[in-house]
Amino acid sequence: MAKLKVGILISGRGSNMAALIEAARSPGYPGEIACVVSNKADAAGLAIAAAAGIPTVTVSHRAYPDRESFDRDVSAALEKHGVEFVVLAGFLRIFSNWFPQHWAGRMINIHPSLLPSFKGLHVQQQALDAGVRLSGCTVHFVIPDLDAGPIIAQAAVPVLEGDDEAALTARILRQEHRLYPEVVRWFGEGRVSESGGKVAVRGLAPGATLLFSGEA
């Protein structure tokens, strides 16, 4: 079976991108990283991707008068490299409606909270301020509404006494690096379906799409 051609969008260091690149090195992994696109020329993740031999593209949002024209050129860069599936890995741009509609069902994001709780930015601090006992990360389809697409999988971590934003962020990030490559694997294997806002993964019980970690 041909491997799924994945395009990754980043704005910064790209730690989730690096986890996906590492996973894709395995001969049995059903996806390959076709390109990495950033809206920032100085994004540290571009050097990581280039060192791995992956084509990189910079499309600066500052060069465009509106979001949709930027989005269309990002999409053109992805399609030029044969991308079939888009993965957001710390891409700090809000899309026009056009982009998620164009890539509907073929684009996912990872968000550092247990959605639908704590959308937007600084979500770890939001979780701490709310006094929750569990936090985590969510992989979801991207739709025009921010952080609102159908949930594919989640990983939960404990919120510990004495946690600050940095400590909780680091604990969640370790689970992001586990969860994201696994979800992309499911797509590469053609096992993910969505209907009525509910996602199923063929061969997995619904509960198997939730990871728990007791790590401190």
Q: Cis link prior to 30 (omega < 30° from 0)?
A: no
**Of residues 152, 163, 131, the one with CA closest to residue 194:** 152
Residue type, 67: R
Q: Which member of 111, 122, 140, 177 is catalytic?
A: 111
pLDDT(216) > 70:
no
Name every residue whose Cβ is closer than 8 Å to that of residue 99 and which is 6 or more positions away in sequence: 68, 71, 72, 74, 75
128: Cα within 13 Å, side-chain hemisphere: 15
Residues 183 and 152: beta-carbon distance below 8 Å: yes
How confident is the model at residue 134, as a pLDDT?
Answer: 96
Residues 57 and 29: beta-carbon distance below 8 Å: no
Residue type, 112: P
pLDDT in tens, 82-96: 999 999 999 999 999
pTM for this structure? 0.96
pLDDT in tens, 8-65: 999 999 999 999 999 999 999 999 999 999 999 999 999 999 999 999 999 999 999 9
Q: Does the annotation count 140 as an active-site position?
A: no
Rama region for 124: left / alpha / beta (φ>0; ψ in -120 to 50; rest): alpha
pLDDT in tens, 90-144: 999 999 999 999 999 999 999 999 999 999 999 999 999 999 999 999 999 999 9
Domains of the chain: 1-103 (3.40.50.170), 109-216 (3.40.50.170)
